[in-house]
Structure 1
C-alpha cells in the first residue's frame, strides 16, 4: 500500500509540474509582447519612423494639391473670356467698316453698312464723272476758239453747261458728306451696341404712384420706379407745393 501511495504521489507531482510548466509558458507568451512595447524599444522607434514618413508624405500631398489648385486657378483665369470692350468695337469699325459689328456679333448689320457706303461711293463716282464732263465742255465752249468742239452740242447756251457743272459739283459734295456720315454712323453703332451688350435688360420694371410728404411738411405725389432684377435701382420723383 505504501508503494502504491508513493507512486501515486510521484505521478501527481509530475502532472502538477507539467501543468505548471505549461502555464508558465503561456504566461511568458502573454507577457513577452507587452515587453516589446516598452518605451525605448525598437517597435516604438519603428512606429515613430512610420509616423514621420506619413507626415512627410502628407506634406508632399498638401503641397502638390496647393500647386495643382494654383495651376487650375491660373488656367481658369487664362481661359476666362475677356470683357466686351466698346473701345475695341469703335477702333475696329474705324479701321474697317463692319468689323466692329462683327466684334459685337451683329453680323446682319455688315451688309447694311456696306450697302450705305457703297451707295455713297457710287453716287460720288457718278457725280464726279458728270462734273468733269460738263466742266470740260464749258471750258471748251468759252475758250473763244471756234475749232474746238465739246461733247454736248445740244446745249447752245454756255450758261446751261455752267449750271449743269455747278449742279453736279453740289451733288459731289453731298456724296462726300453722306459717305462721311455713313462712316461715322458705322463707328457710333458699333460703340453704342458694345455698351448695350453689358447692359442689364431685366424685365423687372415697376412704377408706383402714391401720395407722400415732401420734407415732412408738404403733401404731394410721389413716383417710385424700380428697374432691374438682382441690382435694383430706384428713382423717386415728387410733385407738390
Structure 2
C-alpha cells in the first residue's frame, strides 16, 4: 500500500489547500429566506447552487467551514405560535424545516465535489449524523463542510443562537452572517430609509442598546461573552464571501 502524502486528507476528505485567509475556521449563518430566491417560498435550486459556489470559493482558500441555515422559507416557529399553535410544537416544526434546508445545501455542495456532513441536534440517523462535538471537529479537520441543523434541539431558541453556540463549540474565529440585499449593519432599515448609515464597526453592547436587528439578544450576548466577532455582509455579490475573508469588500464588524 502506498503511503498517503503528508498534508493530504484521508478517506472522503478534500486535499488541503494553503490558507490565504486571516481565519482558519468560520461559521456561515444564512437565513432560510436566502434559499428561496424570488419565488417567495421553499428552495430555489439556482439560488442554492449560487450560495454553494460561494462556499466552494472560500473552501478553496483552505478555510474550514461550519454552516447554520434558518428555516423561515418553509416554516417559522414563532409565526406558527402567533397563529395559535402551541409554541413548543411550532418550534420543533421550524427545526425540521432547517434540516430540509441543510439537506438541500448538502446536495448542492456535493454536486460541486465538496464533502459535507449534515449534523442534527435532533436524532434522525437515516438523514443526518447526531451532534457529537469531537466528531464534528474531526470532520472540520478533514476539510469537510459541517452543516448544523435542527437548531440547538430545544424550543425557544433561534438559529442565530444555534449558530453562535456551535461556533463557540467548534472554536470558530468569527461568525459570518450573510444577508440578502443588505451589506452590513445600518442605523435604520436601508430598504425603507434612503438616509440610513452603515456602521464599519460596532460593539455588541451598542447593537443591544440601539435595538438593531442583527441577531436575537441571546445570540448577541453569547457572542459578546465569548469575544466572538460577527461579520455582517451581503450574499448577493458574487465572490463577496471570499473577498471579505481576504480583507476587502463592504461589511460591518460587530465585536
Q: Does TM-score exceed 0.5, indicating one fold?
A: no
Q: When you count helix as a share of all residues, which structure comes out higher?
A: 1
**Rg (Cα) greater in structure:** 1
Q: When you count strand as a share of all residues, which structure comes out higher?
A: 2
Q: TM-score, normalised by structure 2?
A: 0.19
Q: TM-score, normalised by structure 1?
A: 0.19
